[in-house]
Amino acid sequence: MANPIESKTARDRLKPRREPYWARVEAGLFVGYRKAEQGEGTWIARRRTEEGKQVYRALGTFTDYDDAAKATRRWAESIDAGVSHKGMTVAQACEHYVTDLGMRKGTGSKKDAEGRFRRLIYGKKIGGIDLSALKTSHIKSWLAAQIESDEEDAEDEDDLRRAKDSANRNLASLKAALNLALNDRLVATDAGWKTVSKFGDVGRRRERFLPAEQRVKLLKACPEDLSHLVSAMLLTAARPGELASAAVQHFNWEQGTLALEGKTGYRIVTLSSSAMTFFAERARGKIGNAPLLANAYGQRWNKDLWKKPFKAAVKAAQLPPDVVMYSLRHTAISEMIAGGMDSFVVARLAGTSTEMIDKHYGHLRHDRTRAKLDAVALL
């Protein structure tokens, strides 16, 4: 007597076992349910080939029998259309693509793709997913993970742009590999990746600005050592790495300046009166080569030391999760421009170009100018 698997009630009464409980879908085609000891059971498709050989396909989990039966029919139809019935994972599809690249475009293109897949696909979770089970959500999660840490470590707009640009190139390589698998009939459909699009304008400015109320909440949520670094960024619009590298000797109280060195070279920035007082407190009792800003253990800050505490402070302050260290620099520059400071001066202070300031913050200057024009009675 056959074991019914069409209803959930019937499946719940089945005994767990390795061998699936089978139900006939049509002549020569079966769908099986493997009852697990715990958790959801899984579904398997089985078909007899013209040569009389049984072939199988793991279908994954389904809530309803009808959905499992439909998946079984789609699998059988793909075989009839010439698609290989042998399962291929994402990693295997990438290896297939690399081999094809070597034949068509030479060793240079092959090495580039192979290095990319080695970093991002081989040995990773996405690499082990069967092409027939690949979902759009898998690709989107893989893509987002590439920029997640880069966003947290970003020190300026260029870092974010480069991270997204790099992720776009990685997506293009992966989709090329998956499309080749589709063309070579190793998978029946491109539904799992066709609609995944690259990041848009990679030069687009970040929108996350921290108003005064949120800045206060963040500072209160930070431990004392981290609050000093956060305050320094808001007071100077400098990159966190530049401030982490600054020593006591780089602060000049008499001139009210701070010397910084970073990705755009060496510069001396003018400090506000409040910033002078702040850095004077940080320099008190320290020798010239000592870090001007240090953590609770006297160490110079770096992204590995500030990353987790800053993320915890953002959460504790109940701020949006996309607030990262760069948000502080973005906020400081925005306030400077909105306050009426000249783009050239802000660019010099922040260690960037006037072109970048005009491109990403010019709207703030126009808003201020418009407010002044509105105050003038022209007609």
CA separation (Å) from 14 to 21, 37, 38, 225?
9, 11, 13, 60
Where residue 68 sits, what CATH number does that domain have? 3.30.160.390
One domain, residues 343 and 225: yes
One domain, residues 76 and 97: no
One domain, residues 117 and 69: no
Confirm whether 153 is domain-assigned: yes
More confident residue, 355 or 226: 226
One domain, residues 142 and 224: no
Residue 2 predicted with pLDDT over 60:
no
One domain, residues 146 and 61: no
The tens digit of pLDDT for each residue in 293-342 reads: 999 999 999 988 999 999 999 999 999 988 989 899 999 999 999 888 99
Residue 109 predicted with pLDDT over 70:
yes
Confirm whether 147 is domain-assigned: yes
> Pairing relation of β-strands 257-262 and 251-252?
antiparallel
Domain that holds residue 52: 8-80
pLDDT at residue 147, rounded to an integer = 79
Number of structural domains (the chain) is 3
One domain, residues 64 and 96: no
Confirm whether 197 is domain-assigned: no
At 278, is the pLDDT very low, low, confident or very high (cuts 50, 70, 90)? very high
One domain, residues 244 and 313: yes
Confirm whether 246 is domain-assigned: yes
One domain, residues 120 and 174: yes
Confirm whether 249 is domain-assigned: yes
Where residue 322 sits, what CATH number does that domain have? 1.10.443.10
Confirm whether 358 is domain-assigned: yes
Confirm whether 262 is domain-assigned: yes
One domain, residues 63 and 100: no
The tens digit of pLDDT for each residue in 183-239 reads: 877 777 788 899 998 887 665 545 688 999 999 999 999 999 999 999 999 999 999
pLDDT at residue 248, rounded to an integer = 96
Confirm whether 309 is domain-assigned: yes
Residue 1 predicted with pLDDT over 50:
no
